[in-house]
């Protein structure tokens, strides 16, 4: 899997023109915690859900699409 969730969150936040301070307030975290989120390749689901709601973006869908692409394709044969 090639997704770095922290970078994706930061990019979406910047695309929306929102600040890190704004996000920290929305998800009830400190600004340094938000900086750590942006640096992290992984994140706990509760925090990710709060971020998704705050910035109206479904990162779970992005992660799922990346996972689907990484899964081996199964071929079925009928005997």
Q: What is the pLDDT of residue 33?
A: 94
45 versus 70: the higher-pLDDT residue is 45
Name the domain count of the chain. 1
Examine residue 74 and state whether it is found in any structural domain, yes or no: no
Length of the chain: 79
Which of 44, 73, 75 has the alpha carbon at shortest distance from 60? 44
CB atoms within 10 A of CB 35: 14
How far is the C-alpha of 37 from the C-alpha of 9, rounded, in Å? 8
Examine residue 22 and state whether it is found in any structural domain, yes or no: yes
For residue 11, give the CATH number of its domain: 1.10.260.40
pLDDT tens-digit map of 14-60: 999 999 999 999 999 999 999 999 999 999 999 999 999 999 999 99
Domain containing 19 equals 5-66
Q: What is the pTM of this model?
A: 0.82
Examine residue 11 and state whether it is found in any structural domain, yes or no: yes
pLDDT mean over 71-76: 71
Per the CB < 8 A criterion, the answer to whether 22 and 60 are in contact is no
């Amino acid at each position: 899997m090639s997704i770095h969730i922290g970078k994706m969150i930061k990019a979406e936040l910047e695309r929306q023109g929102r600040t890190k301070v704004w996000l920290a307030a929305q998800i009830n975290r400190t600004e340094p915690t938000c900086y750590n989120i942006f640096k992290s390749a992984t994140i706990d689901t509760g925090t990710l859900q709060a971020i998704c709601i705050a910035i109206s973006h479904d990162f779970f869908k992005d992660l799922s699409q990346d996972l689907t692409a990484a899964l081996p394709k199964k071929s079925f044969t009928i005997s």
